[in-house]
Amino acid sequence: MLLDVEKLTTSYRGLIAISDISLAVAEGEIVAVAGANGAGKSTLLKSISGMERPRDGAVTFAGDRIETLPAHLITARGLAYVPENRRLFPRLSVYDNLRLGSYMHRKLPDRDAPLERCFALFPRLKERLSQRAETLSGGEQQMLAISRALMTRPKLLMLDEPSQGIMPKLVDEIFQAVLSIRATGVTILIVEQRLAESLEIADRGYVLQTGRVVLSGSAADLRDNPDIRRAYLGI
């Protein structure tokens, strides 16, 4: 497994946000994580990425334990995280935001090499290189946030609600981009409120409830599960 999470527990503001969570992501997979608001999905990704410090459990990435490392060292190992609120630098240009993504590779002669992959995925960004990030639409900002993460040259990309705040006509473009990113050899772990769409592109999935994994399986099995269909797919 590229990512192996074992019995992870994290507190937030003194309360247990996730408890005893275990999951795994194999190289080349797209794995979806679902759950209602407050189920602990974002805390899970933050705990894996180093944005929150787990109080117990283990996170192994590419064979090495990382749960005690700071976020920037986890990113340097090849695990990139796109947070729910995107965390762009609003007054910087699109180009400068992208270049900040490649800062850790600043000494390499091909520092900007991932730019062409980003432009192939999201041609709009190439058209808006000189614009400030704050002037972009919600969908374009999400494209920029994903592209900035790709500039770190990740092995694993974690996406937290990538369709949130995006016009419906751009949602399909984001999901198609996720498939295209996987086709380049990048593994994906995605938290997404649009469970039906995420299960269409995922290989496997996990369902969280009150900070715990209550169900897991192949994407097809989860789509066909009557409880999932009622609770999350509205069927």
Q: Which residues of 1-19 are buried (b: 16+ CB within 10 A; e: fewer)?
A: ebbbbeebbbbeeeebbbb
Two structure tokens written together for 153: 């040259």
- Residue 232 has a pLDDT of 67
Residue 155: the pLDDT is: 98
3-41+50-231 classified as CATH 3.40.50.300: yes
Task: Give 152-184 pLDDT, tens digit per residue.
Answer: 999 999 999 998 888 888 888 999 999 999 999
- Residue 14 confidence (pLDDT): 83
For the chain, what are the domain ranges? 3-41+50-231
Q: How large is the average pLDDT for residues 1-24?
A: 95
pLDDT in tens, 183-221: 999 999 999 888 888 999 999 999 999 999 999 999 999
- Burial zone of 169 (CB within 10 Å; 0-12 exposed, 13-18 middle, 19+ buried): exposed
User: Across the chain, what does the average pLDDT equal?
Assistant: 93
pLDDT surpasses 60 at 235? no
pLDDT in tens, 108-148: 999 999 999 999 999 999 999 999 999 999 999 999 999 99
